[in-house]
Structure 1
């Protein structure tokens, strides 16, 4: 309910913006838009009280979705949040809590928490374009791992340009950008070395006369913030050491080496899916999934969430009488699969099954793309059954089940 509410709100905001009223008649339409959003904000705050009470996973999605909208600089949603709360900066700064809504205070608490806040903060930084938004001393920008104010505290203390954007700390000359630093006093001798290092850190900044500074999200290769990437980062951190153990679990499985390498590439999102090829600047006319022809072909969709593939996983889970939601990404799906607890489960065979199904999906995908074959779910399933049987013959002692018997009673093969 809460997630749908936010999606509906986003659609309403974008619809108003797309209609062009804001641009054509800003003085006339702006109060109407603000009044519309204010009424929706009240509804969100009521719903968010329930979200804070139950503390379920949808609350995390809600918070992540709010963060996603903050990146749309210039959009109505972003401009209202910036006007009402101070936008991104207010999330990391102390303010009067009495003037903040319940869900904004909760979001701010999450961002500044020791567990999840560092994950968000460490994966955000400014990309300097025109220097109109980035504060030179206080913000983390480009390749800097920490603000200059923390790296050079003595210089920061004597600067008279604290909290100033880059654009106000210099000017464009015919020869290029020229810095104009102002200090409270002359530098002491023991501050000269810090000043030299400081100048080295900023000498590579290219300030353009046109353009506006942008946020970069390091949690995704596209450098654009998304709810999914933030959710995956927080999920990995919440799993702690277990998330780092997936590779150990993978390499312990006795299967042909090429399948192990394939599984590793799948989990690390290194397979040449259409989206990955597009990110590597490979020109493709069609990025859609070759099975359903609807969604973009990314690993999570191709192997787990495509409508042509999901029935295979549902059938597999039914053998164990389990009903569960599929995680977002391959890594989480692999971990969920290998750590499933079910009475009488043959865990080694169950791990084989994840390998053979994903491998069969990839082989089927390549036949459809490069041999103009039709998607055949029965063939895909039969190949997975056969490869599982083949591996068990080679790697499991005392396995003597005939192929026909194994195929006709496949569900019994995973339960003692």
Structure 2
């Protein structure tokens, strides 16, 4: 459990925008962080990578008896929406919108786009704009209405997007809170 919590700290450092020489070296060696469902990644081969990188890449993926503990602990906090995937990141609720609204995801032209590209500022008010592959059926328009109701709670701003760890009041990841969540002692 402690090892997973420590791996989580490395994962947190990679997704939270920390900077440093170590990060430049890791990205030069391995490329962008892959595989995680909450980062929009897709499983890629791990040939030629270290076991450390493989384990970090697989955090957030449900394996064997382990739950998806890392993904359930992180949440994207949207500011300007420029670094948050609209469909893949868990920024509106605990699961990505592609899971909450699979049909809308299928007909969206902007499947790989960021939140900030799904709307524009109009007189100081954020207006959502969607583009579809075709006209929506009536039942799909009802799904869109449900999505728009969820989006009403979003307050877009000019600040940068960030990650938040839900098991810590400060929102910052800690090995202790991760360890306690893995033991099931934190909700």
Asked if Structure 1 and Structure 2 have the same fold, meaning a TM-score greater than 0.5 normalized by the shorter chain, the answer is: yes
Structure ranking higher in strand proportion: 2
- Partners of 2:142 and 2:2 in 1: CA distance: 51
> CA RMSD for the aligned pairs?
2.5
Q: What's the counterpart of residue 107 of structure 1? A: 56
Q: What's the counterpart of residue 70 of structure 1? A: 14
Do residues 226 (structure 1) and 139 (structure 2) align? Answer: no
- Partners of 1:61 and 1:184 in 2: CA distance: 42
Off by >6 Å, runs of 4+ in structure 1:
none
Shift of 1:103: 1.1
- Partners of 1:67 and 1:116 in 2: CA distance: 17
Q: What's the counterpart of residue 192 of structure 1? A: 141
- Partners of 1:90 and 1:80 in 2: CA distance: 19
Do residues 86 (structure 1) and 32 (structure 2) align? Answer: yes
Structure ranking higher in helix proportion: 1
Give the TM-score taking structure 1 as reference length: 0.39
Do residues 168 (structure 1) and 117 (structure 2) align? Answer: yes
> Are the equivalent residues in 2 in contact too, given 1:160–1:184 (CA < 8 A)?
yes
Alpha carbons of structure 1 residues 224 and 62: separation in structure 2 relative to 1, 3 Å: closer
CA distances 1:59-97 after superposition (whole Å, capped 9, x unpaired): 44542342342254141244554553423x543430121
- Partners of 2:2 and 2:73 in 1: CA distance: 22
Secondary structure of 2:47's match? helix
Question: Unpaired runs of 5+ in structure 1?
Answer: 1-56, 238-242, 244-267, 269-416
- Partners of 1:70 and 1:181 in 2: CA distance: 30
- Partners of 1:132 and 1:222 in 2: CA distance: 23
Alpha carbons of structure 1 residues 110 and 166: separation in structure 2 relative to 1, 3 Å: closer
Question: Unpaired runs of 5+ in structure 2?
Answer: none
TM alignment of 1:13-412, pairs within 5 A: 59-60=3-4, 62-76=6-20, 77-78=22-23, 80-82=25-27, 84-87=30-33, 90-92=35-37, 93-112=42-61, 113-142=63-92, 144-209=93-158, 211-234=159-182, 236-237=183-184
- Partners of 1:68 and 1:151 in 2: CA distance: 24
CA distances 1:349-378 after superposition (whole Å, capped 9, x unpaired): xxxxxxxxxxxxxxxxxxxxxxxxxxxxxx
- Partners of 1:82 and 1:117 in 2: CA distance: 27
> Are the equivalent residues in 1 in contact too, given 2:2–2:179 (CA < 8 A)?
no
Choose 1 or 2 for highest CA Rg.
1
- Partners of 2:178 and 2:2 in 1: CA distance: 14
Secondary structure of 1:136's match? coil
Give the TM-score taking structure 2 as reference length: 0.82
- Partners of 2:88 and 2:175 in 1: CA distance: 26
Q: How many positions carry a matched residue from both structures?
A: 179
Secondary structure of 1:145's match? coil
> Are the equivalent residues in 1 in contact too, given 2:46–2:54 (CA < 8 A)?
yes
Secondary structure of 1:97's match? coil
- Partners of 1:228 and 1:171 in 2: CA distance: 40
Shift of 1:233: 1.5
Q: Which structure ranks higher in relative contact order (CA pairs < 8 Å, sequence separation ≥ 6)?
A: 2
- Partners of 2:23 and 2:169 in 1: CA distance: 23
Secondary structure of 1:171's match? strand
Shift of 1:145: 2.4
